[in-house]
Structure 1
Amino acid sequence: MENRGQAEAGFRLDWVDVARGLGILAVVVGHVWTRGSLRDAMYSFHMPLFFLLSGMLSRSHPPGDFTRRQVIGQMRPYAVFLAALIALDQIVETAKGNRPIFHQWPEDIVPILLGGFWLRGPFTIFWFVPCLMVARILFNLALSRWPDPLDRRWAMILPPMLALAYTLGWWTQASVLGLLSVPMAFVLLWVGAAWPRLRWHNGKILPLGLLALAGLSGLLPTLNMKAADYGWPLLSIGSAIATALLLFRLSALVAPFARPIAALGRESLAIMYCHVAVIHYLTPYLGKLWLLALALLIPVALARLIRLSPRLARWLL
């Protein structure tokens, strides 16, 4: 029984890694192909997938301890990766005879600290981790009161949170540390936590597939979660949820045969932080497929180097 439990736990970890791998692959593809139907298809689901997956893995924790661990565990690598990429930009752009993105010091310290909306170019993805962190802290606070996501009392906060998400998105795109997207991220965390409590049956494939196809095909407006642009109310985000849930199901089915994708999933944090910089600096010199390959392989190689030091790995990965 113990061996069976360990095997099942390993399988569950494998499918999560595969799901993360598919998600990070979609993120990178969406940043390599910056226009057209392929880009729109990736943007229709790729960021919601990570929020949903985080919700699926959520468990109630003491709020104080959880908040402390989240802030330290997430913002430490955020600060280190951001500082390293800013330093790299100073070196690369100066060597090319260009001005670095941040070149007015000390004035540029303010937009760097604001993050989110103010981080563009190779730093554009840095909105995601603070947004996820704050959403998880708030979600854990609610989960500690109502551990069952299907408890009716969740109805007191989910509709207002959803309304707040759309209202903020219509009002502004300015987002300190990406926190503009926290209300929608909170809703997605709840959907992810609630979904495993609903019994799966194959009859769900057709409605989920049709809704997913509406987003992937461009029939529905696509998403830009960083700017709190959620497309058509409920429908576009619903399509993203449908696509992600089907990909989770697929990940569970193919996990034993998808080790390369799972390997990407295990290094998804390093890829998330570094891939845009690879694309940004190499775009003038390489084709799309080369950019895709290097935007995955260079961060994976960096992560493997970091893992050579257990202390550094704890800090950054």
Structure 2
Amino acid sequence: MRTRIEWIDSLKGIGIISVVAGHTIQNGSVATLFFLFHMPLFFALSGHLFNPNTNLRQYLSKGVRHLLIPYACFLAILFLPTLLNSGTPINFHSVSHLVARFMYGGAALVEFEGPFWFVTCLFFTQQICNFLIVKWRPQSVSLIMIAALISGYANQYAAANLRFPLAINVCLVAMPFFYLAYRIRSLDDNRTLVAISSAICIASIAAMRHFPIAYDMKNTNYGIPLASFVVAYAWFITLRAVARATTRIPGISKVISSFGAMSMGIMFTHQFIQISLYKHGVHNDLVRFAIALCATYAVSRCIESNHLAARLLLGIQRGNRLPLTPSHESA
């Protein structure tokens, strides 16, 4: 059994709580705050903990087991609820349309499956970055990442409705987060970097009321070129420092890290819970947020307790109860 790293779970906890809050709290300013960083945080954390694997086939196999199999299983589980929720007559046309939408993935996934784009995007981000890092020189990879980021902005401004299957186009912006975190992780304890990042975060809270700096990666909205990237990465550095600090406060750390340990399951299930609550009259955002977060945590724990379910739905292999979320199992 592998040793958990507490600050990682704490940071994942902060991240997944932000994801659920961003999807349930309708207040524009509050939602915008979470969209400054919540998805870039997970790509950066995955890169921060990445270990290159020269065995490309093995790395591909691990990615399939840890990400794509849970992705496919949850889509299968939610197929009928999604069909019933659509409000359309159940016939060949509606079934085939939903099958096509599920197969396309990415931005075509909405409501219950809305967050699932992240899983396929992360999978391709990891695979591409691993290939580049083990096959190319660092200088060449850095240039590729700059080109990818520029291409992502071109996608945003010139063809925002051009969205590839499985959110592959979002990799253009996700890969630079992943790679930057991988390259500068040695600066973990650099207090100057943390101080500068914290100042940027504070400034971004004021700026978000006047400038479109938030990220909506799924829908090819990457904010203001470069500025939003810097802001999102500054939030990652700052929240990483916060996560490390929480480990010195056992009570708080235990709660936050518990949610982080179940981040995969929470990510897959929270929209189903919170949207269902809303459609059944629970319109108070905070109540819906609290119920969705706690209920999906409980569901994830139940899944984890069963070896087969954990393997299929959370990517946890037998004999290893560590949830193989992006941050723990990037290599």
The aligned runs of 1:45-194 (5 Å cut-off) are: 45-61=37-53, 62-90=55-83, 93=85, 98-99=87-88, 104-145=94-135, 151-170=138-157, 171-173=159-161, 174-194=163-183
**Kept in 2: contact 1:220–1:236 (CA 8 A):** no
TM-score normalised by structure 1 residue count: 0.88
- From 266, 270, 275, give the equivalent of 2:270: 275
Please state how far the C-alpha of 1:213 moved relative to its aligned partner. Answer: 2.3
Q: Shift of the alpha carbon at 1:226?
A: 0.5
Give, as a single letter, the amino acid of the residue that structure 2 aligns with 1:136: Q
Rounded Cα–Cα distance in structure 2 between residues aligned with 1:200 and 1:73:
30
**How many pairs align?**
302
2:282 aligned with 1:293: no
Whole-Å separation in 2 of the counterparts to 1:138 and 1:307: 29
Corresponding position: 1:44 with 2:33: no
Long gaps (5+) in structure 2: 315-331
Q: SS in structure 1 opposite 2:100?
A: helix
C-alpha displacement at 1:192, in angstroms?
1.2
Structure 1 range deviating more: 34-43 or 281-290: 281-290
CA offsets 1:58-88 (integer angstroms, 9 cap, x no match): 0011212111221233111111111212222
Kindly indicate whether the alpha-carbon contact (under 8 Å) linking 1:42 and 1:216 is maintained by their aligned counterparts in 2: no
* 1:99 CA drift (Å): 3.6
Aligned equivalents of 1:107 and 1:196: distance in 2?
A: 44
Change (3 A) 1:202 1:176: same
Moved more, 112-121 or 213-222: 213-222
Contact 2:26 2:285 in 1 (8 A): no
CA positional deviation for 1:209: 1.9
The amino acid across from 1:108 in the alignment is L
Pairwise CA distance, 1:195? 2.2
Q: Tell me if the contact between 1:208 and 1:246 (Cα under 8 Å) persists in the aligned partners.
A: yes
Asked if structure 1 preserves the Cα contact closer than 8 Å seen for 2:133 and 2:141, the reply is no
2:191 to 186, 194, 202: 202
Over the aligned positions, Cα root-mean-square deviation in angstroms equals 2.3
The 1-side partners of 2:5 and 2:50 are apart by: 14
2:303 to 300, 303, 306: 306
* Distance change >3 Å, CA 101–CA 156, structure 1 → 2: farther
1:200-257 Cα deviation digits (max 9, x unpaired): 4322233212222233331542110111211111001110100111100111111242
Counterpart among 255, 259, 281 of residue 254 in structure 2: 259
Question: In structure 1, the residue corresponding to 2:50 is in which secondary structure?
Answer: coil
**Greater relative contact order (Cα < 8 A, sep 6+):** 2
What are the within-5 Å matches in structure 2 for residues 217-232 of structure 1? 217=206, 218=208, 219-221=210-212, 222-232=214-224
